[in-house]
């Protein structure tokens, strides 16, 4: 009856909103945030702080995607692959998208304020990254680094939220370096989907500048670098741990085995780059969770 009257059922509207912000992409950022939380020992977090971290993460993630979709709505309408998205197709009104952005920004800022004054002062940093990177494709083929930089903030944010003293940040910094190289590399693969449209519309990407084959070589180099950057992260985490030699040895073996698993996943992603759905959503989605598992295993040396 609701559809017949021209209104949209609430469940359908919620699905539209979730699709608009690509809620499933949280699977990339969430494990990186948690890896940052557990990258150094500290006092156990209480339920309130966990809740505030979750609220800040969801608010930041939602606002990032809302900004991206709002800024890119004209380009999305011109691209055959993306013209079916919520704003170009009319499934979602511009006012709804702006309202969702405002609510998510408010939730993020409120959570930062509740975490403490320092968090409120630095809260514009991720927002600036989110607002800048959608514009980069208008100017530079290095635009993929903007996406990488935005997700590289995730482990740093998790570390800062869980460690107000900001002591022992080395592991979180190495994980951020990994995230920068990893995400930049898979964004290059993702850009191969839009090569023809980007050339037609004058959108910049490494795929457009270098051609598909050479761009994928750059992506492969970035993914090799990403795997290498995890090694010093493991060493840093083990260096924080007060456990004995046996605990260190077991944690070292387990965490480096998981590091190898990350390298294998990234290698498979490159091998299957021609099938972006397989490489991006079936393989790539597991990388962050394996990195989180690596961090947790390394922390076992200190008994948490």
225: tokens are 């670098």
Name all domains of the chain by residue range, CATH numbers in brackets. 11-302 (1.10.357.140)
Q: What are phi and psi of 204, to 5 degrees?
A: -90, 145
Q: What is the pLDDT of residue 273?
A: 86
Q: What is the pLDDT of residue 108?
A: 96
Give me the long-range contacts of 40-48 (CB less than 8 A, separation at least 24): 40/159, 40/163, 40/167, 40/168, 40/169, 40/171, 40/172, 40/237, 40/240, 41/168, 41/240, 41/241, 41/299, 41/302, 41/304, 42/162, 42/163, 45/162
Burial profile 182-196: b = 16 or more Cβ within 10 angstroms, e = fewer:
bbbbbbbbbbbbbbe
Q: What is the pLDDT of residue 44?
A: 82
Q: How many CA atoms lie within 13 A of 290 on its CB side?
A: 20
C-alpha 130: how far from chain center:
11
Cα–Cα distance, 264 to 269 (Å, whole number): 9
Q: What is the pLDDT of residue 5?
A: 39
Quickly list H helices, the chain.
10-20, 26-37, 47-71, 73-78, 86-89, 94-115, 117-122, 124-136, 144-162, 170-191, 195-201, 206-210, 212-240, 245-271, 276, 284-299
Locus of tokens 């482990």: 155
182: tokens are 């990893």
Residues 20/100, Cβ–Cβ less than 8 Å: yes
Cα–Cα distance, 160 to 258 (Å, whole number): 25
Q: What are phi and psi of 244, to 5 degrees?
A: -80, 180
Q: What is the pLDDT of residue 246?
A: 73
Taking phi first (over 0 means left), then psi (-120 to 50 degrees means alpha), and beta for anything else, what does residue 102 get?
A: alpha
Cα–Cα distance, 25 to 183 (Å, whole number): 12
Q: What is the pLDDT of residue 303?
A: 58
Q: Count of CB atoms within 10 A of residue 244's CB? A: 10
The per-residue pLDDT string of the chain (304 residues; one tens digit each, 9 = 90 and over) reads 344 434 666 777 777 777 776 766 667 789 999 999 999 988 788 999 999 999 999 999 999 999 999 999 999 999 999 998 889 988 889 999 999 999 999 999 999 999 999 999 999 999 999 999 999 999 999 999 999 999 999 999 999 999 999 999 999 999 999 999 999 999 999 999 999 999 999 999 999 999 999 999 999 999 999 999 999 999 999 887 666 677 778 888 899 999 999 999 999 999 888 888 787 777 888 999 999 999 999 988 755 5
């Amino acid at each position: 009856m609701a559809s017949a009257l021209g209104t949209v059922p609430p469940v359908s509207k919620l699905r539209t909103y979730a699709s608009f912000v690509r809620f499933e992409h949280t699977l990339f950022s969430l494990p990186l945030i948690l890896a940052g939380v557990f990258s150094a020992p500290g006092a156990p977090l209480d339920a309130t702080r966990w809740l505030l971290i979750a609220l800040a993460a969801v608010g930041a993630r939602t606002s990032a995607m809302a900004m991206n979709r709002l800024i890119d709505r004209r380009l999305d309408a011109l691209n055959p692959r993306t013209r079916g998205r919520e704003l170009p197709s009319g499934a979602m009104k511009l006012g709804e998208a702006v309202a969702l952005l405002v609510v998510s920004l408010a939730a993020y800022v409120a959570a930062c304020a509740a975490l403490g004054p320092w968090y409120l002062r630095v809260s514009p940093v991720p927002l600036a990254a989110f607002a800048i990177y959608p514009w980069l494709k208008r100017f530079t083929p290095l635009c993929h680094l903007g996406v990488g930089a935005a997700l590289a903030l995730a482990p740093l944010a998790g570390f800062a939220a869980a460690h107000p003293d900001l002591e022992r940040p080395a592991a979180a910094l190495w994980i951020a370096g990994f995230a920068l190289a990893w995400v930049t590399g898979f964004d290059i693969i993702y850009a191969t989907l839009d090569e023809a449209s980007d050339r037609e519309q004058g959108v910049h990407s490494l795929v457009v500048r270098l051609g598909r084959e050479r761009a994928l070589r750059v992506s492969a180099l970035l993914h090799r670098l990403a795997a290498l950057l995890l090694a010093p992260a493991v060493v840093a985490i083990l260096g924080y741990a007060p456990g004995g030699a046996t605990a260190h040895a077991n944690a070292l073996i387990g965490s480096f085995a998981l590091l190898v698993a990350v390298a294998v996943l990234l290698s498979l992603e490159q091998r299957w780059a021609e099938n972006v759905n397989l490489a991006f959503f079936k393989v790539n989605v597991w990388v962050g969770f394996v990195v989180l598992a690596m961090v947790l295993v390394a922390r076992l040396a200190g008994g948490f």
